[in-house]
Structure 1
Amino acid sequence: MANVLVLKSSILGGYSQSNALIDHLLTNWEGQTQSIIERDLAANPVPMLDADVANALRGGDSLSEKQQAALAMSDQLIEELQISDTIIIAAPMYNFTIPTQLKNWFDLVARAGVTFSYTEQGPVGLLKDKKVIVVTTRGGIHKGAASDTLVPYLTNILGFVGLDNVEFVYGEALAMGEELASQSITDAKSTLSQLTA
């Protein structure tokens, strides 16, 4: 592994199971990576997509201060993606989907002509040759069920910008008793170790 981008999105801070799994992974990777960029999107949120931000992302000469800041943030987030070989995303399930904070990040990095382009055959992602590991934690058990709308969404949006080498690591049943939760976390750590060996 060389350059790693880590995205955390849990609103639970020190109580977050997804953050804890990511921290466990990074500790075991110590000395094996060239550089790690870590973003906690809950502690340091990026701008939410609104009309001003959407117009800023299209470019233009007469941008307000707010728009210039949003465009600069988008450029920075995209550069972090471009220089990274591996992207690790902590995506806890909130109400059957990803946290708002993570959705805001996707809204700033999905930019026509920069991370994807439109062609006669449809959109083509421009981010290539990167590995993505998504750590998703849930209170219940949703893997493979209709209630898991998080995995299809992330698969689609990541593929949209060219990130199609994606592995999902599940921490499920975390609110279903200590025994199930503990086994699930142990299994998730084991899977992470295998993926990063």
Structure 2
Amino acid sequence: MDHHALNILHIDSSARSGLSGRDRHGSHSRRLTARFLDRWRTARPQDRIIYRDVGAEPPAPVDEAWVAAAFTPPQRRTPEQQARLAESDRLTAELVAADLLVVGAPMYNFGIPAPLKAWIDNIVRVGVTFGFDRSRDGEPYWPMLPGGKRLVILSSRGDYGYDPGQRLAARNLVEAGLTVPLSYIGLYDWDGVAIEYDEFADDRLAASIAAAEQGVDALADQLMHINWRERAAA
């Protein structure tokens, strides 16, 4: 196991504040992220975990003032533009510093919750997490995130059959809603675990929760044994 300290960014986005199995109407995705991070802390107490609950404190959505500020060169931004980007600066700095990103992302109407989309929109920043030069030969865009990062998506779904090759795979926009924009800025490697059957509330849900918890434990154990120093240097 690699024992040098890591930075972990833990994001929850469920509108439900509690944990399923503990709190009435608690969140399945929060249950999975809490389990993952509890297991990680026990094995790797030296690591630094930054927690951001965008479900409880959503980032401000991108608006016209945000766009104008982001596309103004830093040295030319007004104090008002700097203030408008201050939250985005904080969110982006957390991501840039993170070795591992653990996201609780429940499925809402087939996609990610609006606060999580607002987080995505705040961290996909021209000149910060991606570059753009229209005069550049070939592709005018390029990723700017430091290498070696990894993403874990822990999700929950009301129905079932959303995994690749299954009955509702084409309607699952959750993982793509995170992996497409994050790979665009340079975070390519990801793993995921999901609970299904929430709307059925029967033995199938119980079995799915048990399987997901086993999957979370196995994934945490696997990622703990990665040589993170080697990944960052690659």
Given the two structures, how large is their TM-score scaled by the length of structure 1? 0.92
* Separation of aligned partners in 1, 2:151 and 2:219: 10
SS of structure 2 residue aligned to 1:13:
coil
Amino acid at match of 2:68: N
User: CA shift at 1:69, angstroms?
Assistant: 3.2
User: CA shift at 1:175, angstroms?
Assistant: 1.5
Percent of aligned positions with the same letter in both sequences? 32
1:126 partnered with 2:144: yes
Contact kept, 8 Å, 1:56 with 1:63, in 2: the verdict is no
User: CA shift at 1:63, angstroms?
Assistant: 4.5
Q: Which has the larger radius of gyration?
A: 2
Amino acid at match of 1:82: V
* Separation of aligned partners in 1, 2:53 and 2:131: 28
Out of 215, 219, 222, the position equivalent to 1:191 is 215
Amino acid at match of 1:2: L
Out of 3, 6, 13, the position equivalent to 2:7 is 3
Give the aligned partner of residue 22 of structure 2: none
Amino acid at match of 1:62: T
SS of structure 2 residue aligned to 1:12:
coil
Contact kept, 8 Å, 2:13 with 2:104, in 1: the verdict is yes
Gaps of 5+ in 1: none
Given the two structures, how large is their TM-score scaled by the length of structure 2? 0.78
User: What's the C-alpha RMSD, in Å, of the aligned pairs?
Assistant: 1.6
* Separation of aligned partners in 1, 2:142 and 2:192: 23
* Separation of aligned partners in 2, 1:188 and 1:168: 10
Query: How many residue pairs align between the two structures?
Result: 195
Give the aligned partner of residue 163 of structure 2: 143
1:39 partnered with 2:58: no
Amino acid at match of 1:45: P
User: CA shift at 1:101, angstroms?
Assistant: 0.1
Deviates more, 1:148-157 or 1:16-25: 148-157
User: CA shift at 1:134, angstroms?
Assistant: 0.4
SS of structure 2 residue aligned to 1:169:
strand
User: CA shift at 1:29, angstroms?
Assistant: 1.5
Q: Where do 1:9-48 residues align within 5 Å?
A: 9-14=13-18, 15-31=26-42, 32-33=44-45, 34-48=47-61
> How big is each residue's C-alpha offset from its partner over 1:114-140, in whole Å with a ceiling of 9 and x where there is no partner?
111135324222222101000111111
